[in-house]
Every structure is written in C-alpha cells, then in structure tokens.
C-alpha cells in the first residue's frame, strides 16, 4: 500500500513549497561540497555541547564497547539518514524539484511542441500565477517529460551537469554545499566507528546517487530512494534501461521501512530524520532489541536556514514530533545544537 499510494508524489513534493521557489539560478564554476574534518579530540566540532550531542556520543560509545551491555557487532551497525531536511536543506522547495523545473526550461528548445502549450508553457514561463493553476497531474506530466523517457545513463549525466553548475536560489551556493556541516561530521564519526551509513530518502534514487558519494561519502549501493519504473530495451548499441514516466516505489512513510527491509535486510540501530515522512523509519528502528538511537532535526533557525514544523507543506513535523517527545527520541534543535549549519 505505502509504496503506491502517491503516484503524483514527485510533483506534490516539488511544488508544495510555493511557486516563489521556481526561479533557478546557475553559476558556472561552482564546486561540490566537501566533508568536514573533525577538530582534534572532538569528533563533532559543529555540534554544541548539550543533550543531543551527548546522546550521540553515549550511543556510539555503548555500541562500540566490547563486552558492554550495549555492544553491537560492526556488521549490524546500520545507520539510516533521511536526506531532504536532514542532510541538506529542503527549503524553500526540494532541490530535485528545482532540478526538474530547470530541465524543462533547458530542454524546451528541443521541444517546440511544448512552447505555447499548457502546461509546459506555464512552467517554462516561471510565472507563479500561471503555475498555481496547474493540477498535480499536469505538473507531474511536465516534470516527467524532462526527466524520464531517457536512459538511466543519460539521466545521470543530466543531473551531474546540473549539479556541477547550479546554485541554490536562497542559500546562493552550490547545492553540494547546502548540506549540513554537523551531519557531515556525524557521518564521518559513525563510519569511523564501524557503522555503515545509508541514505533513505523520499528523493529519487537515480538523482541522489549522482552526488551522494562526493558530498556525503555514501556510495550508490547505500542510497535508497523513490524510483521510477525502468524498462529494459535492446538497441543496436546494446541494452539500455529507460526511465518510465511511472512511479516504481515511493520511499516515504511506511515505504521507508519496507524498502530498508528490501534493500538492507537488517533493522537499523540508528535513524535520523526530520519530518513525519520519517516516522515509520524511526518506529521500525526503535522496535529492535538492544541499543537504539532515533533523532529528528527540528528546523527552528529562521536566521541561519528556516523555521518550520507543524503544518509545513515541505518537511512537516507533527505526529513524529509528538511521538519523539512521548518516546524520548532525540530532537535536535538546529538553533541550539548546531554551531554551524553549512560547510564553510
């Protein structure tokens, strides 16, 4: 059920943030982000001292202390992270949506049939008033026109080309530097302690894999995401996989633990999210035996990034927040717990 209930999910996610975000700027020569080096003696220098940082340090100490009651064998040290809003910014709108809109504009010259035709023309125009009149099906149709119907290799090349030059419209920096510095340190810290870190995101798996290794140090085979269906096609030049304008699996809510089971086959011991879409992933993680750590980023920092939680169309944090309070999951305040937000 969970994996098929939202066929128009990409479009809903893409456009829920409001049409002001549709403008996409690009600057040639931007470089991708880099991971932070830990200060001597403190593996998490961008985390302020406090209960959240202490919970992480205590958990890692517990699961890595041989003979201790919380010890977990390295092969079972599975840590799962949501991506949008947990590892990088998701405001004012998901970066993948900005990529898709950019692709519609970039490819428009090759598609004279789009120009002057709704719904393509509205998206190409970038006019918020016109775009707000589009239905979800229209939007899905437009985005699919520019991001499917091609080989998986071609799609990856398109993402890479975009990622190399595009700048985030609000943060005014390359997308690869809209990652959160405290989380880059946390990924390093966990890996250094024998964890395998995984991305488990509602974002597209074919999209994230293009940059996840460079940006997060997470290789393609440890990225789980939403997928489009792909078809096998034998061409004169050999076999190719063609991305179809059809959802394969929507990796959100119950889809997250279901796909964790499918892809990893083990229950994580550590899960980090930021929205109600992560609730079931944290519940699934919490339900195992032994030491566990469940965390949520609370975006409460309007000055440095954004402040949003209950009722937000992007990254709404409501039922998961209540459950975190009730069950003692760790709620990380971006304002109080993070000394820096973005890589320097």
| Residues near a copy of itself (CB under 8 A) | 1-2, 75, 152, 196, 205-206, 209, 219-221, 223, 227, 230-232, 234, 238-239, 241, 248, 254, 257-258, 261-266, 280, 283-284, 286-287
User: Is residue 32 a contact partner of residue 278, using CB atoms and an 8 Å limit?
Assistant: no
Q: In angstroms, rounded to a whole number, what is the distance separating the alpha carbons of residues 317 and 329?
A: 14
Q: What share of the chain is helix, strand, coil (3-state, %, to 5)?
A: 40, 20, 40
Residue 220 Cβ vs a copy of itself, minimum distance, rounded to whole Å: 3
Residue 268 Cβ vs a copy of itself, minimum distance, rounded to whole Å: 11
246 vs 313 by CB, closer to a copy of itself: 246
Residue 231 Cβ vs a copy of itself, minimum distance, rounded to whole Å: 6
Q: How far is CA 34 from the centre of its chain?
A: 17
Residue 240 Cβ vs a copy of itself, minimum distance, rounded to whole Å: 8
Q: In angstroms, rounded to a whole number, what is the distance separating the alpha carbons of residues 40 and 33?
A: 22
48 vs 152 by CB, closer to a copy of itself: 152
93 vs 258 by CB, closer to a copy of itself: 258
47 vs 155 by CB, closer to a copy of itself: 155
Q: In angstroms, rounded to a whole number, what is the distance separating the alpha carbons of residues 74 and 196?
A: 8
Q: In angstroms, rounded to a whole number, what is the distance separating the alpha carbons of residues 80 and 190?
A: 11
Residue 211 Cβ vs a copy of itself, minimum distance, rounded to whole Å: 12
Identify whether 241 is preceded by a cis peptide bond (ω within 30 of 0): no
3-state SS, residue 122: helix
27 vs 262 by CB, closer to a copy of itself: 262
Which among 264, 275, 135 has a CA at the least distance from the CA of 203?
275
Identify whether 92 is preceded by a cis peptide bond (ω within 30 of 0): yes
Residue 4 Cβ vs a copy of itself, minimum distance, rounded to whole Å: 10
Cα-Cα-Cα-Cα torsion 203, 72, 53, 329, nearest 10 degrees, comes to: 70
16 vs 263 by CB, closer to a copy of itself: 263
């Amino acid at each position: 059920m969970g994996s098929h209930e939202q066929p128009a999910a990409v479009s809903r996610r893409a456009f829920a943030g409001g049409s002001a975000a549709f403008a996409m700027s690009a600057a040639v020569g931007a470089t991708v982000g880099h991971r932070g080096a830990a200060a001597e003696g403190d593996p998490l220098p961008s985390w302020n001292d406090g209960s959240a940082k202490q919970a992480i340090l205590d958990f890692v100490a517990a699961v890595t202390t041989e003979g201790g009651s919380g010890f977990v064998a390295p092969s079972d040290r599975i840590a799962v992270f949501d991506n949008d809003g947990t590892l990088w910014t998701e405001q004012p709108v998901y970066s993948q949506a900005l990529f898709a809109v950019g692709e519609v504009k970039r490819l428009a010259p090759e598609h004279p049939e789009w120009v002057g035709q709704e719904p393509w023309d509205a998206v190409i125009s970038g006019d918020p008033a016109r775009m707000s009149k589009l239905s979800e099906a229209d939007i899905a149709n437009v985005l699919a026109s520019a991001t499917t119907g091609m080989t998986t290799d071609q799609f990856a090349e398109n993402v890479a080309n975009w990622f190399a030059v595009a700048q985030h419209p609000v943060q005014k920096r390359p997308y690869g530097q809209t990652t959160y510095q405290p989380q880059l340190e946390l990924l390093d810290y966990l890996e250094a302690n024998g964890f395998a870190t995984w991305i488990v995101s509602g974002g597209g798996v074919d999209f994230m894999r293009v940059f996840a290794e460079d940006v997060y140090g997470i290789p393609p085979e440890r990225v789980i995401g939403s997928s489009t269906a792909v078809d096998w096609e034998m061409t004169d030049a050999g076999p190719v996989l063609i991305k179809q304008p059809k959802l394969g699996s929507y990796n959100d809510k119950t889809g997250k633990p279901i796909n964790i089971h499918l892809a990893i086959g083990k229950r994580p011991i550590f899960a980090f999210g930021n929205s109600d879409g992560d609730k079931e992933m944290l519940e699934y993680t919490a339900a195992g035996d032994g030491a566990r750590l469940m965390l949520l980023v609370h975006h409460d920092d309007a000055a440095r990034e954004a402040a949003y939680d209950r009722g937000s169309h992007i990254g709404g944090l409501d039922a998961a927040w209540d459950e975190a309070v009730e069950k003692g999951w760790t709620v990380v305040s971006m304002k109080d717990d993070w000394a820096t937000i973005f890589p320097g």
